[in-house]
Structure 1
Amino acid sequence: MDGTPGEISAEQQEREAALVERVLASYADTPDPRTKQLVEALTRHLHAFLRETRLTEEEWKRAIDFLTAVGHITDDRRQEFILLSDVLGASMQTITINNEAYANATEATVFGPFFVQGSPDIGPGGDVAHGAPGEPCWVEGTVTDTDGKPVAGARLEVWEADSAGRYDVQYGDERVAGRGHLHTDDQGRYCFWAVTPTPYPIPDDGPVGELLRATGRSPMRASHLHLMVVAEGYRTLVTHVFPRGDAHLDSDSVFGVRDSLVVDVHQQIPTTPTPDGREIAGPWARIAFDLVLAPER
């Protein structure tokens, strides 16, 4: 018997099914209906996976060791569990479920593991780079509702990797770079300086990296800039801006790319005047991206 379902005896199948029912019955007195629904569904799907794959005891132990390693490497600066959720597509699926399409509202995508609370207020036209290496990039646009009405005073959180493919928290020296926040003006407009997004690998020196190598997958993320928009009366938007033409748009390691979020990056020669009069010695770029918020549910 090689373990395929068709060759499992009726007696064995009955024993396995009985165990599933015993576990489900143990949740019968769960007081919260939603908790009861979640643990019952988890039990059914987990046992279905175990029975379908005929998981061996050695494979079970390796899975436990893997999850233990994910926990050990996770700290207040690195969230390996979010990274695992990302590469399995679970993060993107949860976002898809919880951000149903609404009119012409901007699509949401993955939050990622590198957001940090308490970013500096850069103000309109400010610079989120804070010295992070990379080509200067002017980013501008508007925030409106689905009827085109400007959303004044919306808070925009911005964070990104530098040209070396690293976020500030990955350096371990307490620097704050590549992140900041600002608010839209009375016309819903926003603008700021950043660095032109570049592709980078997700952290692959831990258990998630081992999983990617074992499955022949690349750790590369498509170039992107993170944006989160918060405004009273509207659904909080967590999204990205992806430069058109990036080589990893079709193979983003966390499945975060949406066609509607791909934008043109307009390269500027050194002598081109900047929108705010800033003097830049070398080339720079500009991106325009309008954000549309769905109403709060």
Structure 2
Amino acid sequence: MLRDGGTEEVRRSFAQAADPRARLILDSLTRHLHAFVKEVRPSREEWAAAIDFLTRTGQRCDDTRQEFILLSDVLGVSMLVEELNAGDAGTESTVVGPFHVGDSPVRELGASIDLLGVGEPCVVTGRVVDLDGTPLRGATVDIWQWSADGYYDVQQPDRQPQGNGRGLFTADAEGRFWFRTVVPSHYPIPTDGPAGELLRAAGRHPYRPAHIHVIAAADGHDPVTTHAFVADSPYLDSDAVFAVRESLIRPFDVIDEAERAAAFGVTHPFRLLQLELVLG
């Protein structure tokens, strides 16, 4: 006979799992999931709706969109996982998000990741260092961002060239890197799927503050996935995916000097972002 709603019976069914970590995860999942159901007491119709919601979430996943990551993001789980796995020092990490691609186009230092020529010109300069400030020669810096009107290339394959807003750079002997782009705008996450339904049901907005995504990596060091948030962007205090951290809000300084613009190969005025990425 099942007792306690069957919770203990289910827990015992997983007790013989050979892998200790799997055994711990399945036991904890059972306890917390059963406790949630007992607290909420969903009707059969509500439980069927929940199953349908998750089914449709999976059905919205494809090669260019990951709805489960989006759902994890808007529930704050992605950032919780990042914080639990973060090191004690170095640049703070944030979410990857649903629009990172595995193979960013390799670009030379100083190249432009903007293939559209629309938007406010921006130059990003920076360096990758270890915890002691030693430059990390040959570190890779993977960059991705959306267009000036708030879309990633994979969202507009008929309007944006593949690889627009993306680039994989290799730092020089001093750990330095730089590239040209446009200032990103704030934008809404996709709301035409289950994650959007959740936001509407909660009365929440879908917007993210303007930012540039970065993954920095170097041999012998833990990689960091992070953002550079535009300091004067809307929604810094209410990011739809809870990823804003004070240390990651950066000034995109306005530079109105013809000589400096010419040196970088951009028009003036332009915006300048300076980054230091610290790897543990």
TM bucket normalised to smaller? over 0.9
Moved more, 262-271 or 75-84: 262-271
1:263 pairs, out of 245, 250, 260, with 250
Shift of 1:56: 1.6
SS in structure 1 of the partner of residue 54 of structure 2: helix
Task: Give CA-to-partner distance per residue, 1:31-69, whole Å, 9 cap, x none.
Answer: 111111111111111011001111221111111111111
Q: Work out whether residues 125 and 276 of structure 1, in 8 Å CA contact, stay in contact via their aligned partners in 2.
A: no
Structure 2 counterparts to residues 141-160 of structure 1, below 5 A: 141-160=126-145
When residues 47 and 277 of structure 1 are mapped into structure 2, their CA distance, relative to the original with a 3 A threshold, is closer
Shift of 1:277: 4.4
Q: Work out whether residues 212 and 229 of structure 2, in 8 Å CA contact, stay in contact via their aligned partners in 1.
A: yes
Question: Is 1:115–2:95 an aligned residue pair?
Answer: no
User: What is the CA–CA distance in structure 2 between the aligned matches of 1:276 and 1:202, rounded to whole Å?
Assistant: 36
Q: Work out whether residues 209 and 239 of structure 2, in 8 Å CA contact, stay in contact via their aligned partners in 1.
A: yes
Structure 2 counterparts to residues 167-206 of structure 1, below 5 A: 167-173=152-158, 175-206=162-193
Structure 2 counterparts to residues 279-290 of structure 1, below 5 A: 279-280=266-267, 283-290=269-276
Q: CA RMSD in A?
A: 1.7
Shift of 1:172: 2.8
User: What is the CA–CA distance in structure 1 between the aligned matches of 2:140 and 2:81, rounded to whole Å?
Assistant: 24
When residues 132 and 47 of structure 1 are mapped into structure 2, their CA distance, relative to the original with a 3 A threshold, is farther
SS in structure 2 of the partner of residue 276 of structure 1: helix
Q: Normalising by the residue count of structure 2, what TM-score does the alignment of the two structures yield?
A: 0.95
> Higher Cα Rg: structure 1 or 2?
1
Q: Work out whether residues 132 and 177 of structure 1, in 8 Å CA contact, stay in contact via their aligned partners in 2.
A: no
Task: Give CA-to-partner distance per residue, 1:81-100, whole Å, 9 cap, x none.
Answer: 00000000010000111113
When residues 132 and 226 of structure 1 are mapped into structure 2, their CA distance, relative to the original with a 3 A threshold, is farther
SS in structure 2 of the partner of residue 20 of structure 1: helix
User: What is the CA–CA distance in structure 2 between the aligned matches of 1:109 and 1:80, rounded to whole Å?
Assistant: 18
Ranges in structure 1 where 5+ consecutive residues have no aligned partner: 1-13
1:37 pairs, out of 15, 20, 24, with 24
Identity, % of aligned pairs? 44
Q: How many residue pairs are counted as aligned between the two chains?
A: 278
Structure 2 counterparts to residues 1-297 of structure 1, below 5 A: 17=4, 19-102=6-89, 105-131=90-116, 133-173=118-158, 175-269=162-256, 271=258, 273-274=260-261, 276-280=263-267, 283-294=269-280
User: What is the CA–CA distance in structure 2 between the aligned matches of 1:132 and 1:235, rounded to whole Å?
Assistant: 35
Task: Give CA-to-partner distance per residue, 1:127-146, whole Å, 9 cap, x none.
Answer: 11122632111001111111
1:3 matched to which residue of 2? none
User: What is the CA–CA distance in structure 2 between the aligned matches of 1:111 and 1:277, rounded to whole Å?
Assistant: 29
When residues 158 and 279 of structure 1 are mapped into structure 2, their CA distance, relative to the original with a 3 A threshold, is closer
**Counterpart amino acid of residue 139 in structure 1:** V
SS in structure 2 of the partner of residue 115 of structure 1: coil
Shift of 1:275: 6.2
